Every structure is written in C-alpha cells, then in structure tokens.
Amino acid sequence: MGRKKVVIALGGNALGKDVEEQKKAVEKTAKVIVDLAQQDLDIIITHGNGPQVGMIQDAMDNLVVIQDNLKQIPLPTCVAMSQGYIGIDLQNAIKYELYKRNIDGKVSTILSQVEVDKDDPAFQNPTKPIGRFLTKEEAEINESHGVRCMEDAGRGYRVVVASPMPKRIRELETIKTLVGAGHIVITCGGGGIPVASENGKLVGVNAVIDKDNASSLLAAQLGADYLIILTAVEKVAINFGKENQEWLSDLTVEQAKQYIAEEQFAKGSMLPKVEAAIRFAESAPGRHALITLLDKASEGVAGKTGTVIHV
C-alpha cells in the first residue's frame, strides 16, 4: 500500500497577524508539519491570508491616495503577493525544522491560480469585506463608480467582493509532479489567485475564494486520503456555547448535513469548514476529513482526537 496523501488547510492562528508574528507562528506550525511528514505521509499545505492580504491591500490603497498618478492594485495581484511571502516563510521554517531533525526533505511553494465561473451567482451578491476602512463619503464615491461597499460591524465602510466557488486549480499538474517527487508542497494560499478563463487566457477577477473550499477541491483532485482543516477548536460542537453543548468525534456526511439543516454551525466560522469537509468526504470512497486544532493534528490523524467526517 502506498503512502497516504494529506492536504492540510492551515487556519489564521497558524500564521499570526503581521510580519513579526508570522515569523514566530510558522516555527510552531513547521514542527506540526514535520511531525506529520515523519508519519510517512505525503503533505500538501494550504493556508489562509486574511490579515496578510488586508495589510497589502491597505498599503496599496494608501499609496494610491498619496500618489495620485498610481493606479489601484487589483485584488488578484495582492493575493499573489500574500501567497509569495507567506509561502516563503512557511517553506523556510519547514526546511529549518527538517534540518534540525537531520531529515533530508524537499519543500516547495507553488503560486497557484484558481479558476472560478464568471457567471457564479456570488458576483451578484458580494459579501466579503476587504481592504481599509472608509468614511461614508469615500464609500459613496466608490458606489458611484460601481464598487460595492458595506458597513462593517459599526467600524466604518469597506469594499466588499464576491466569494465564488473554486472550479479548477490551474497548477494542479505541477503540484502533482512535486508531490510525486517527494516534496512537501505549499499551495492555494488564500484560496488561490482568483482567475477566469477568457478564450484560454487567464484573467484576474475581483474576488476572494474561501480557502477551505479551495483546499477541499485540491484534496479531491489530488486523490488525497485526508483533508485536515485546522481551526481554533479541538472538535466540532453542536449547541455551541450552550449548557447542552456536545463535542463531536465522528460525523457521517448524513449527520453533518442534518446539523447544517438545524443551523448548528456558525455561518462565518464553522459552517464553511464543515461544508468543505463534506464535499471532500463525498468526492470518492474512503476519503476522510478531519477538523481539529493545529497542536492536535498528529493525534487527529492517529484517530485520537478531532472531528472526523466521512461517508
């Protein structure tokens, strides 16, 4: 029997909120990744980019305000920038952890474009806030130019963009080749650089792809055995925060869908993770998704903790 293939979707707590925090956070993350690699697993890593792409977008927005001869930097370009600098920090931390353990391992970062459908209904209803906070006047000017804005938790206005479903990972064959050659591969950062195909030409689109959805698609297309979604809790719960809260260790797809129908999972946090886990578990026989804490990933793969979702 061959080596098992595992896609690990890192949550924001694995990366920190700024450049300094990220350097520290990836050291801890690298230990977890190498622990898993030592279990004779092929590892593919995806990650979020929320704070990082926001920081880049803010900087670029402010630069345009200061220098009026500069044009707005498109969001796909900012996602590409975030993929690059997060990827290199993760790559170097993992390489150093391998070196400390005297393991001869290969680690590569692949900047990846993820294709979406230009007719995805999400484009008619953008909901994902990005970039710096705006005054009401700035928001109104944006709206007059066709740029959607909304108030964000009473803190001011922000530009909102669509969050369409990922359809195709354009660098899939490159990722497969590197995994086959024994590399730990870091890819699909921030859900991937959002693109659409125009008669074969890839063109960036103003959108943010959910990284758990992109990770689920990647895991399915790579033929992975496991999708591990790392988050801020050890297990998924029902009746979360209530007296009758119950932590779940094992969930069938059928049970998970029932809990979704009962609105057991919060829309902005656990729901998209469970939905992504279901899509992967359903994609082929024998596939399992695991939702757990970063620190518990190895124990989760060993079946000792976390929430496993399967058919």
- Residues carrying an active site annotation: 12-13, 128, 211, 273
The continuous run of DSSP H or E covering 237 comes out as strand 236-238
User: What is the C-alpha separation between 296 and 291, in angstroms, rounded?
Assistant: 10
> What is the number of alpha carbons within 13 Å of residue 151 lying toward its C-beta?
5
CA-to-CA dists, residue 38 to 31, 227, 231, 244, 283, angstroms? 11, 17, 22, 39, 27
Helices (H), the chain: 19-37, 50-66, 75-100, 136-144, 172-180, 211-222, 253-261, 270-282, 297-301
Per-residue pLDDT of the chain (311 residues; tens, 9 = 90+): 578 999 999 987 788 888 899 999 999 999 999 999 999 999 999 999 888 887 888 888 788 888 888 888 889 999 999 999 999 999 999 999 999 999 999 999 999 999 999 999 999 988 887 767 788 998 898 888 778 898 877 778 888 889 999 999 999 999 999 999 999 999 999 999 999 999 999 999 999 999 999 999 999 999 999 999 999 899 999 999 899 999 999 999 999 999 999 999 988 789 999 999 999 999 999 999 999 999 999 999 999 999 999 99
DSSP 128-181: EEEEEEE-HHHHHHHHHTT--EEE-TTS-EEEEEB-PPEEEETTHHHHHHHHHT
Q: Considering the entire predicted model, what is its pTM?
A: 0.91
Closest-CA residue to 233 (of 301, 302, 304, 306): 306
What pLDDT sits at residue 60? 85
Amino acid at 104: D
How far apart, in whole angstroms, are the C-alpha atoms of residue 153 and residue 151?
6
pLDDT at position 11, please?
A: 84
Q: Which DSSP category does 5 fall into? A: E
Q: If we measure between CA atoms, which residue out of 197, 11, 4 comes closest to residue 116? A: 197
- The confidence score (pLDDT) of residue 4 equals 93
